[in-house]
Structure 1
Amino acid sequence: MASEPESNLRTVEALAALGRQFASYLGVSLAALAVHYAVLATLVETGRADPVPAALAGYLVGAVVSYGLNRRLTYASDRPHAEATWRFGVVAAVGFGLTWLIMAGLARGLGLPYLAAQVVATGVVVFWNFLGHRLWTFADRSSSVLPDGASRAG
């Protein structure tokens, strides 16, 4: 059985690794969000789409960017693409639904400006996506969900 100082050190190391991974996720998310918001604003400002479908189109394009960068940089996953892509799709589909609900509720229901509504939607969905991808999409196939070799033993 590990001593208390060793257990505390492992906990601190695990939390630090989780923090680094989340920081990487946020960096990747910024790139995907730039693409998402560019599509959203372009479609709305050119009159090609209402804010809700434009937000959803942006979400889909941003998801493509997110998959590639997160697989490689954030999670360093070796899960085969055939398995990771459908898992990514499921997590992204829930995020897509959350985006739709939040955008429809805030932009249409409450009349908020579409960009303000999208910021709220982004804030909610970013946490959902990080946890979904960390714990399921790109999780180590050995079923450990702890970061960088941290052990479950205490």
Structure 2
Amino acid sequence: MWDADALAALARQFLSYVGVSLAALAVHYALLAALVETGRADPVPAALAGYLAGAVVSYGLNRRLTYASARPHAEATWRFGVVAAIGFGLTWLIMAGLTRGFGLPYLPAQLLATGVVVFWNFLGHRLWTFAGRPVPVLSEETSGVR
């Protein structure tokens, strides 16, 4: 099912995704820490604000560098939004559960949430958001090819 070339290509793509994610995470964590440490927001809404800011960075860089997608922005952006919204919900559930439910400090909680959401986002964007568009297949009768 998977050959060495396909696995190597997947590994390269995942490494590119991780690099882009680090840039997005820098924005996410900077906003999270700034909001919490200045007393402007509770850790859960601060994490969600950081997630949204990181998503803006992630979309642009992943579209261009990781997935090299030709899918039109009008289609890719709403797909990205759906995958990101699910990641947003996962972030909220994990952050609320760990900080409010278990009393974990916000940064370790965010690290755990990030670990889960990184894999969700990579797979969602690879398989759906930026995946190549299916090419319609013509039947023998329609195409005239036999």
Is the TM-score greater than 0.5? yes
CA drift of 1:104 comes to 0.2
Structure 2 unmatched ranges of 5 or more: 136-146
Query: Is 2:132 the counterpart of 1:126?
Result: no
Counterpart of 1:32 in structure 2: which amino acid?
Answer: A
CA distance in 2, matches of 1:142, 1:23: 26
Secondary structure of 1:93's aligned partner:
helix
Partner residue, 2:34 = 42
CA distance in 2, matches of 1:87, 1:142: 15
Partner residue, 2:25 = 33
For residues 8-19 of structure 1, the aligned pairs below 5 Å read: 11-19=3-11
Counterpart of 1:17 in structure 2: which amino acid?
Answer: A
Partner residue, 1:151 = none
Partner residue, 2:108 = 116
Query: Is 2:68 the counterpart of 1:76?
Result: yes
Q: Which consecutive aligned stretches of 4+ in structure 1 deviate over 4 angstroms post-superposition?
A: none
Q: Please give the per-residue CA displacement for 1:53-99, whole angstroms capped at 9, x wherever unaligned.
A: 00000000000000000000000000000000000000000000000
Secondary structure of 1:27's aligned partner:
helix
**1:22 paired residue among 14, 18, 37:** 14
CA drift of 1:142 comes to 2.8
Secondary structure of 2:70's aligned partner:
coil
CA drift of 1:141 comes to 0.8
Q: Identify the structure with bigger relative contact order (alpha carbons < 8 Å, sequence gap 6+).
A: 1
Across the aligned residues of Structure 1 and Structure 2, the Cα RMSD in angstroms comes to: 1.1
Partner residue, 2:94 = 102
Q: TM-score, normalised by structure 2?
A: 0.91
Identity %: 84
CA distance in 2, matches of 1:131, 1:48: 34
Q: Please give the per-residue CA displacement for 1:16-41, whole angstroms capped at 9, x wherever unaligned.
A: 00000000000000000000000000
For residues 83-98 of structure 1, the aligned pairs below 5 Å read: 83-98=75-90
